[in-house]
Structure 1
């Protein structure tokens, strides 16, 4: 255990020492590269400068510009003008006021430098931009209406509970259906009572009058049953829908839509209950 701790400490100290040595030797590497360049050893100068630029973040600001400048000089001397131009651009980004002394720098290098400078001025290097994130639209969720409130309203007036829940079209159709069926029920019941009295008052000695009176009574009796059953069906559905249906906008995608509507036919008006998936 003790040996492992000592070994770990030795490795940590060694890495730190190596990093410190690399930082301390950067100035020496730059000076060596300048000497190589001045002696015409351009390949060695390039190797030294490329090594130094690997520690770019540890170099001083002025040393970074100096390293790029002499690396460009070496590339031109080595015949690689395009690479020299790209390296000059990096130096100009760091120091846009960089100038070369024509008394100490060859015209060939100055020409490449001026081309790089012109390209940097006309097309500066693009700065990294943050992606534009569009704000998401808030999702508006409608609050579920009270089912008790809807049911209480539908008990008083069919369709009122649906209107309360925001289902205006369905509520209006239920009101119309309830109004028609209840109106027919009242009319049928009234006519049934009237024809029943007429049947009772018919002349017992006139079989045809009794038959006709009974026929009318039977018709309105059946109409009363049919219209009453229709109103009862509308009323029960109205209560069921007020209890089970949800407020528009709060139901799930898989939930079927239920609807009640009046459909005209060749024989009259038909009450239709639809379920759409």
Structure 2
């Protein structure tokens, strides 16, 4: 197979997980190459995601590295199936982090998000999203805004497909009062949020004013649950773009943060009542 000059985040993650298996086996790259009957450069290409792999090749690597975790090996083998999804059409138009995020969401087994001053991207209306992008710094040109809006709306399709992943969102009440786009846009956004919260696989919880301190304040968190815990990923929104985390300690930290935020939030039915009351005042 030809080498990949610009591997996706998913391909790089597969390579990184294979490197972890090699290191747990106590093998150097040179030692692994000798055991596999390849040169050291090939091992490096595999571990940086630049060498496409078949599922059979992943399983043979796992055997060479004495990995006994069948669920993990199955999940890694599944990652070799490259899906050329709708997000690929945006590669020349958007930052690569947004492309990687859409691909990770597509493959995720479950999605957990938490925000304080924004409505989650997968629950936004078109007008709400456009109002947000108009406030980007540095300013975006109109065609750039439209690319980002259409990309965000396309991401939302995973919640409407035949096999949607469970989706859980924690939103602070602050986000419900933000006036992005003016009253008409705000009212439509809150009504859309209510409609989405009624879907069986979508759970929306609101942290009300007066709840006090809780972890995660001021931070937007996307937690993408893998098909095994080792393959979970955290995505954070920053001023310089998307940041992806997958170290074990980082995953433990953000699972704890999300659990604490959910514990501070109202139950789903109470959250819907609060959203409804706020919508009536707009």
Report TM bin, short chain.
Answer: under 0.3
Greater relative contact order, per chain length (Cα 8 Å cut-off, separation 6+): 2
Bigger-Rg structure (1/2)? 1
TM-score (norm 1): 0.22
How high is the TM-score relative to the length of structure 2?
0.21
Q: Comparing both structures, which one devotes a greater share of its residues to helix?
A: 1
